[in-house]
């Protein structure tokens, strides 16, 4: 849902009471508006990129699926106006619709203040370069800040990444031509595979699942973050809500607690929860500006969430 213009302006100025929204399960959610002060959102350095960025960015997968393009663009602009500078998208998100809407939402802002990341599922170098050109066209940009080799899955996949004529070689050539500034990597299921890939190449960033279910499964927090710290990787936390599993019916913790839990993990630079409405973004934005949970509170959140009974792939379906 979109705010009426009057309410939107009041929310931006901090004069509106907490916004009432409803998730798909019908339960009400209070989305407290940010106070309008952009500097109340803490900043961190994104690893070896050297970029200092606010700790909350926007995960843009859901935007591509909205029927109303104006509503999608409004979320991008609200995130931007309330302090976000990191925007994460991909050509595979609804056949490029996410990239187009991100580009439209950001086009009037100073490019050098933004960090725009896209991805590639391609493993062939030529195909990855062709895909990058199309991404730039959709975004309306001459370069992106990062292209992430997306969803690295297995030891065999790692070997493919570094083959002659493969995707890593191609992206590094594109970086030399200033089509992109950094090469990153993402993984969804197996932290051990990601560690192996990062030992083979000097990636700048890693996008990984970080949520309270993670420590009880194949854990990126336990098995990957130490490597990331040692290699000065910028770590971006995705799957904050475990693909929606933690904010649906019967949830044990609030969405804001999940945002704060992810940001409290040692080695995480920023978090990129998805949002397909302005109130959902405001909810995450408000949480990110609050003090982070201490170790005792983090443990309470993990205990409250419990263990997930399904396969990891079932609750990490989407970015």
- Taking only the tens place, the pLDDT of each residue in 125-134 is 999 999 999 9
Which pLDDT does position 309 carry in this prediction? Answer: 58
Which pLDDT does position 216 carry in this prediction? Answer: 87
Say whether pLDDT at 83 is over 70: yes
Looking at the chain, the whole-number percentage of residues with pLDDT higher than 90 is: 79
Q: By the 8 A CB rule, do 293 and 260 touch?
A: yes
The arithmetic mean of pLDDT across residues 82-103, rounded, is 98
Helix (H, G, I), strand (E, B) or coil at 88: strand
- The band of 310, judged by pLDDT with boundaries at 50, 70 and 90, is low
- CA–CA distance, 205 with 48 (Å, rounded to integer): 8
- CA–CA distance, 265 with 210 (Å, rounded to integer): 8
Residue at token pair 């104006």: 70
* β-pair type (268-271, 115-120): unpaired
- CA–CA distance, 96 with 112 (Å, rounded to integer): 23
Residue 271's alpha-carbon distances to 28, 43, 57, 209, 224, in angstroms, are 24, 12, 6, 10, 16
Say whether pLDDT at 25 is over 90: no
Helix (H, G, I), strand (E, B) or coil at 14: coil
> 40-315: which CATH number, 3.40.1010.10, 3.30.1330.100, 3.20.20.100, 3.30.460.80?
3.20.20.100
Write down the pTM of the prediction.
Answer: 0.88
Residue at token pair 């309470």: 300
Residue at token pair 């443990």: 299
Looking at the chain, the whole-number percentage of residues with pLDDT higher than 70 is: 84
Which pLDDT does position 172 carry in this prediction? Answer: 98
Say whether pLDDT at 184 is over 70: yes
Which tokens sit at 263?
A: 């940001």
What does R_g of the chain's alpha carbons equal in angstroms?
A: 19
Lowest mean pLDDT among 34-38, 179-183, 293-297: 34-38
> What is the torsion angle, in degrees rounded to the nearest 10, for the CA atoms of residue 190, residue 225, residue 235 and residue 202?
-80
* β-pair type (43-45, 52-54): antiparallel
- CA–CA distance, 189 with 204 (Å, rounded to integer): 20
Backbone φ and ψ of 46, nearest 5°: -85, 75
- Give me the helices (H) in the chain, please: 5-13, 69-81, 97-106, 125-139, 155-161, 167-176, 191-200, 220-223, 225-230, 255-263, 278-288, 295-305, 312-315
- CA–CA distance, 72 with 225 (Å, rounded to integer): 32
CA neighbor of 287 nearest in space, from 75, 52, 56, 72: 56
């Amino acid at each position: 849902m979109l705010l009426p213009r009057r309410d939107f302006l009041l929310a931006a100025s901090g004069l509106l009471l907490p916004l009432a929204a409803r998730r798909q399960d019908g339960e009400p959610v209070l989305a407290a508006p940010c106070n309008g002060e952009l500097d109340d959102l803490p900043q961190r350095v994104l690893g070896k990129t050297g970029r200092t960025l606010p700790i909350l960015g926007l995960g843009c997968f859901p935007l591509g699926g909205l029927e109303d393009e104006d509503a999608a663009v409004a979320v991008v602009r609200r995130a931007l106006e309330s302090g976000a500078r990191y925007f994460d998208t991909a050509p595979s998100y609804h056949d490029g619709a996410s990239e187009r809407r991100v580009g439209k939402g950001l086009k009037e802002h100073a490019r050098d203040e933004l960090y725009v990341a896209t991805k590639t599922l391609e493993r062939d170098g030529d195909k990855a370069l062709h895909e990058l050109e199309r991404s730039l066209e959709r975004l309306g940009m001459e370069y992106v800040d990062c292209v992430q080799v997306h969803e690295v899955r297995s030891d065999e996949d790692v070997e493919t990444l570094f083959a002659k004529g493969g995707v890593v070689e191609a992206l590094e050539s594109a970086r030399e031509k200033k089509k992109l500034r950094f090469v990153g990597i993402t993984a969804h299921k197996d932290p051990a595979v990601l560690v192996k890939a990062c030992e083979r190449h000097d990636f700048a960033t890693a996008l990984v699942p970080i949520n309270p279910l993670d420590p009880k499964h194949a854990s990126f927090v336990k098995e990957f973050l130490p490597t990331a710290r040692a290699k000065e990787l910028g770590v971006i936390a995705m799957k904050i809500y475990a693909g929606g599993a933690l904010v649906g019916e019967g949830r044990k913790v609030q969405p804001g607690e999940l945002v704060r839990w992810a940001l409290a993990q040692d080695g995480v630079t920023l978090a990129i929860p998805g949002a397909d409405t302005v109130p959902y973004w405001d909810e995450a934005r408000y949480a990110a500006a609050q003090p982070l949970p201490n170790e005792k509170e983090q443990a309470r959140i993990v205990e409250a969430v419990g263990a997930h009974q399904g396969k990891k792939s079932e609750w990490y379906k989407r970015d």
